Amino acid sequence: MKKKLNKILKELKSLKSELYEKDFLLTWQKSKADLKQTLLVAEALKLLRDNNISPKVFDSGLAISQFRDNSTRTRFSFASATNLLGLEIQDLDEGKSQIAHGETVRETSNMISFLSDVIGIRDDMFLGAGHEYMKEVGAALDFGYENGVLPSRPTIVNLQCDVDHPTQSMADLMHLKETFGSLENLKGKKIAMTWAYSPSYGKPLSVPQGIIGLMTRFGMEVELAYPEGYELIPEVIELAKANAEKSGGSFKISNSMESAFTDADIIYPKSWAPYSVMEKRTELLRNKDHKGLEKLEKECLAQNANHKNWECDEEKLKLTKKGKALYMHCLPADISGVSCKEGEVSENIFEQYKVETYIEAGYKPYIIASMILNSKFKNVAKTLKSIAKSKKQRVKT
């Protein structure tokens, strides 16, 4: 462990990051040094826990969990990450708070933050609103801290919004780094981020947007594929193009799953709702137009049904590099014949890669813990060295 940790610490000392006292909202707002440091600290935290060393750097303090949409992996990853560092988690249930009675964002943000160190927010239901809400909370926290209401300014971690899913895409990047040996080895590797059929609708755009917004920064050949009409947010598409040009990689859009899979090193088949549909859905949700939502759902499910051939199956896998590209998914996947009649991926393919996808998901708690640690400790290398030196056992043996 010592040799590996020292290597991580050496790399950390060479980086000039700007993560201290900053929120983590969008990966493309972070420098390459920021992203590399996030990965390295996550690796160090995993190494420490794997060797039964407790990285609890907080003796007390709250981590506020605010989920405005359903979640399993991200919810428990946030709880695991905050507990790993010594924070106690508290859910903000809007239905049981004064938010239901019209309490303002500024007031709520300050009232939950008196002795809080981090606020994790998932807000992906309303297109054009989730990311803006997180920025509004941030401004409220700045106000509270600057005016002496709060003893310290809690860090905001984006646990998924309408634009990006940084904890997921960074966990995916960590998985790729571990799989291929280094970030440098990702250069020139082809990743197919493709739409896939699902018998449900309204799935956020943030996962595919997070992937194309992040992987294009590391010189990868990124092909985004979807049926006509399933476009993503235009600004993110332009961002991916610019990232690819700058990194020496490539970014391509096609309307063929087969094209995207051809010679791919990594495949990421994932359903999402069309950008235009999410715009309509947001308007209907805000107006509480239940009949309108039911009508839109029927229309979208019928539209999805026209593309049932967009399934990750054995024949398409054969098109990939040596017929065995790495399959990735944020989970839960719609597995044909298992979780649904017809879905994103065949049962055989999912079973073949199931362990890898679980490992991929398992990096998320460490990524979240890293985001918190980097924001709260100015010299994170020194902090990690101190943790290792203490040799404080997590489980007494």
Q: Tell me what pLDDT residue 60 has.
A: 96
Task: Tell me what pLDDT residue 9 has.
Answer: 97
Distance (Å, rounded) from C-alpha 35 to C-alpha 17? Answer: 9
Is 96's pLDDT higher than 70?
Answer: no
Instruction: Give pLDDT tens digits for 63-79.
Output: 999 998 888 999 999 99
Residue 226, phi then psi, degrees to nearest 5:
-160, 155
Is residue 218 over pLDDT 70? Answer: yes
> In percent, how much of the chain has pLDDT > 70?
98
Question: For residue 98, is pLDDT > 70?
Answer: no
For 8-17, 159-168, 226-235, 274-283, which range has the lowest pLDDT when averaged over its residues? 274-283
Contact 269, 329 (CB under 8 A): yes
The predicted structure's pLDDT at residue 186: 98
> Which is more confidently placed, 76 or 97?
76
CA 239 vs. chain centroid, Å, equals 17
Residues with Cβ within 8 Å of residue 64, at least 6 apart in sequence: 89, 90, 91, 92, 112, 113, 116, 118, 119, 120, 154
Residue 97 has pLDDT above 70, yes or no: no
For residues 138-159, average pLDDT: 98
pLDDT single digits (tens) 347-390: 999 999 999 999 999 999 999 999 999 999 999 999 999 999 99
- Which residue's structure tokens are 């940084």? 166
Helix, strand, or coil here: 155? strand
Task: State whether CATH 3.40.50.1370 applies to domain 167-361.
Answer: yes
Collapsing DSSP states into helix, strand and coil, what is residue 95? helix
Quickly state the pLDDT bin for 17 (edges 50, 70, 90): very high
pLDDT tens digits, residue range 232-279?
999 999 999 999 999 999 999 999 999 999 999 999 999 999 988 888
Distance of CA 316 to the CA centre of its chain: 26
The share of the chain scoring above pLDDT 90, in percent, equals: 89
CB atoms under 10 Å from CB of 49, counted, come to 16
pLDDT at 94: 78
pLDDT in tens, 384-397: 999 999 999 999 88
Beta bridge partners of 123: 161
Amino acid type, 327: Y
| Residue 57 confidence (pLDDT) above 90 | yes
DSSP state of 335: E
Q: What is the pLDDT of residue 49?
A: 97
Average pLDDT, stretch 47-52? 97
Which sequence spans correspond to the domains of the chain?
167-361
Q: Give residue 101's pLDDT band: very low, low, confident or very high (50, 70, 90).
A: low
Secondary structure tally for the chain: helices H, strands E: 15, 11
Angle made by CA atoms 253, 276, 224, in degrees to the nearest 5: 15
* CA 298/CA 187 separation, integer angstroms: 42
CA distance 72 to 366: 16
Phi, psi of 192 (to 5 degrees): -100, 110
Are 90 and 100 a contacting pair, CB within 8 Å?
Answer: no
Residue type at 50 in one-letter notation:
D
Q: State the pTM of this model.
A: 0.96
Mean pLDDT of the 267-296 span: 91
Cα(213)–Cα(217) distance, integer angstroms? 7
- Res 99: pLDDT: 67
- Picking from 255, 257, 252, the residue whose alpha carbon sits closest to that of residue 309 is 257
